[in-house]
Amino acid sequence: MFSNAGIMRSSQGNQMILDFDVKASDRIFAINARGMTGCVKHAAIAMVKGGVKGSIVCTGSLLATTGREHFIDYVMSKHAVIGFGSVCQQRAGRAWDSRVDECEEFFARNSILKGCGVLKAGDVANAVLFLASQDSQFVTGQNIAVDVGTKLV
């Protein structure tokens, strides 16, 4: 199962710590954190009931591990995906022999990354397909970055 829900901005636009509006961030958390939780929960229930051993992949974000001052609510909501995935994997591996991973993506076009190219949807899809396939049967509980080397810059 691939949980690929997410939005980047609250109704208030970008949020920084000094003007952070908790209420405005509720929509981002409802979709990015709680929406993903609901997807994983119901997929896991169906997998357990059906005796299906498989893979659950959640969409994360590079910003969850690197941060970005103007997107504090988005960063927090995507960081929740990392924590939730870690907890789920502990149970999934023991209880129903399945895997839970995260595909962390970043779309960038700037002078620093000139020559590296820009991610396309297919690049992320290929990483997700790998995580969902039997080729990754020994890869579990991972946060795979598809980021054209952004973390290295």
Burial of 23 (0-12, 13-18, 19+ CB in 10 A): exposed
Handedness of CA 2, 142, 32, 119 (dihedral sign): negative
Rounded Cα distance between 143 and 99, Å, is: 12
Rounded Cα distance between 97 and 122, Å, is: 28
Q: What is the DSSP string of 93-150?
A: HHHSS-EEEEEEE----SGGGTTT----HHHHHHHHHHHHSGGGTT--S-EEEESTTG
Choosing from 10, 15, 74, 80, the catalytic residue is 74
C-alpha closest to that of 58 among 27, 89, 30: 89
Rounded Cα distance between 92 and 26, Å, is: 28
131 is catalytic: no
Residues labelled catalytic = 74
